[in-house]
Structure 1
Amino acid sequence: MKTALITGVSGQDGSLLARLLLEKGYQVWGTSRDAQGASFANLQHLGIRERVRCISMVPEDFRSVLVALRRSQPDEIYHLAAQSSVGLSFEQPAETIQSITMGMLNVLEACRMLDKQARIYQAGSSESFGDTEGVAADETTPFHPRSPYAVAKASVFWLLDNYREAYQLFACNGILFNHESVLRPERYVTQKIVSAARRIAAGSGETLRLGRLDIARDWGWAPEYVEAMWLMLQQDTPQDFVIATGHTFTLEAFVAAAFGHFSLDWRQHVVQDEKLFRPTDIQVSRANPAKARAVLGWEARLSGAEVVRSMLAKID
């Protein structure tokens, strides 16, 4: 039986990954900053809370990370813990950069010191690419981050690359494009849209206020993306992978699909609010996931409007 440690197990990706690994026969440990006080609502929602061994760990505290690794003795580490909102990173830039960069550094240092060599997955982000002006980004595309969150994610990409080369760690960056599920909190625009459409269809009478509607993203289905994370750590050599659907969808189209599900005209219920615009934003996010297809045998099955329908149907 393999043992996996998932940092940030209470989030969308951590919970979905925990379920996948349990299905594959792993013993799963998960971390939270306060395991005794956390609700682990996503694990409860998926019906796996009692099967995950949850422990406290503060990623920015090296001793805390080392203790968690020594206690769990993992074969595989999936480092997902950190501030994960691009919008919030403009309001809390220092906390965002510290939590992402120091957390990854501490995991790498702790792994280097332990006798048992665990395989490491790092949650990278397509935000690191910035705006490629419509060109599909792959593993060779230069980074041009345009938010504090993206700057931090680009930094830890190279930090992991350095440790992999210097200390021969089996460590992989997963450069994931946007991926959604019913486990997303409402601070994420996709869940904000889906939840508002459902309430409006039920007669709430509210108006949904959004930022820019002309942005385009590659939106995929999160339960599929955690499978790609696992596949990366099953390879003979550590490599970095872009994980995406390869299809780009505008936010306006996302909104139209959500309201169209209830036979509503979104224009009657949605307004664009300039107060919600970010200081900088990516106009078009486009991906080329060919390497994941060729090496991992992984390919997204749902994209765009299919993701919207799955969220509305509350599919886990």
Structure 2
Amino acid sequence: MGNLLNTKKAIIVGSNGQDGKILSNFLTKKSYNILKLNKDNFDINNFKSVESLIKSESPNEIYFLAAFHHSSEDLIFSKHDLFQKSIEINTMALINFLESIRKHSIHTKLFYASSSLIFESNENDLINENSIIKPNCPYSISKVAASNACKMYRENHNVFASVGILFNHESYYRKNNFASKKISTTIIDILKGHKNEIVMGNLNSIVDWGYAEDFINAMYLILQLEDSDDFIVATGNKYSIKDYLFYAFNHVGLNYLNYVKSNPDFLTRKNTVRIGDPSKLKSLTGWEPSISFSDMVSLLIEEELIANDLTTK
């Protein structure tokens, strides 16, 4: 009975996404009691529903990972629809949880997943928590508003609301419209003889790429701190699309130059550089990335191979 009483309860908002799936596995290993919310089983935009949930469950931790966003190669939504959906999911739904915590469960700690896209491009310097914020799309604008809401509830209402400003982080669970997953799945198609090339945008684009499992560990560590704050979650390392392609194709014994074509018109978002400085996170939590960039790329390709009954051995 003692163990049951000491079991921590966490709510994962956005449990079906990449980070939600990995976080669920992570917290399960730590014996958490987990409540998974997704768009199929709960309406996070209904304040009364959120308020009732928080009042009845009174969780120790909430991880707000739900997000509406689009890839840089995605043209499906109109600008108006992007704004409406982004504000609804990324901002207003979060405020439903913050207000419910304030009213009914002040001990609850909340983590909000923000994005490196809130910052302007910076080719020369690492981006830290004090860097210039300059959102330029509906997604990043909604993320800035949400981060400011967390700060307001933190400072004015004593709500523990930490913001993790997440840079690129990859896993097997990435959707196909992300570059890393596109590369992985195309390599599989090439090995199966279904394709003979991959068309990418700017091959010289520089990215701060991390491993998603490391980022989930960072989220957890942030909520174990005494005080809430904003944190850059990044590796601080920069690699190009070319670098990713090199290690990915090399893992299966192929030369990427024989398969890759570049078409800059393929991108809807202009090339930008954002490399994060995780010094604050490392200093306060002891967090460190567990895997190098090249090993991460190899691991992701290997996971894709195994899922498709292929092997490099």
Match of 1:58 in 2: 43
Say yes or no: does 1:172 pair with 2:162: yes
**Cα offset, 1:286, TM superposition:** 0.9
Residues 29 and 72, structure 1, Cα contact 8 Å, conserved in 2: no
Matched with 2:221 is 231
Partner of 1:304: 293
Aligned letter for 2:21? S
Q: Could you list the runs of 5+ residues in structure 2 that have no partner in the other structure? A: 1-6, 307-313
Of the three residues 62, 66, 69, the one matched with 1:81 is 66
Q: Could you say if the C-alpha distance between residues 58 and 269 of structure 1 is closer, same or farther in structure 2, counting changes exceeding 3 Å? A: same
Moved more, 90-99 or 174-183: 90-99
Kindly tell me: are residues 19 and 89 of structure 1, through their superposed partners in 2, closer, same or farther at Cα, counting changes over 3 Å? farther
Structure 1 residues 89 and 286, CA gap change in structure 2 (3 angstroms): farther
What residue number does 2:195 align with? Answer: 205
Asked if the contact 1:86/1:150 (under 8 Å) is kept, the reply is no
What is the CA distance between 1:64 and its match in structure 2? Answer: 2.8
Whether the 8 Å contact between 1:218 and 1:304 is mirrored in structure 2 is no
- Superposed counterparts of 1:96-175, under 5 Å: 96-175=86-165
- Of residues 163, 180, 194 in structure 2, which corresponds to 1:190? 180
1:17 is matched with which residue?
Answer: 23
- Alpha-carbon separation, structure 1, partners of 2:167 and 2:109: 22
Tell me if 1:68 matches 2:53.
Answer: yes
RMSD: 2.0
What whole-Å deviation, never above 9, does each CA across 1:194-230 have from its counterpart, x for those lacking one? 1111221232234212222221111111111111101
- In structure 1, distance between residues paired with 2:56 and 2:257: 54
Q: Given that residues 91 and 146 in structure 2 are in contact (C-alpha distance below 8 angstroms), is that contact kept between their aligned partners in structure 1?
A: yes
TM-score by length of 2: 0.88
- Name the structure 1 match of 2:38: 32
Aligned to 2:303, what secondary structure does the other structure show? coil
The CA deviation at 1:289 is 0.8
Pairs aligned (count) = 294
Q: Which amino acid aligns with 2:16?
A: S
Counterpart position of 1:40: none
Contact 1:89 1:148 in 2 (8 A): no
| Aligned-residue identity in percent | 30
8 A contact 1:219–1:303 mirrored in 2 = no
Letter of the 1:286 counterpart = I
Q: Aligned with 1:314: secondary structure?
A: helix
Distance 1:305 1:184 in 2: 18
The two structures have a TM-score, normalised by structure 1, of 0.87
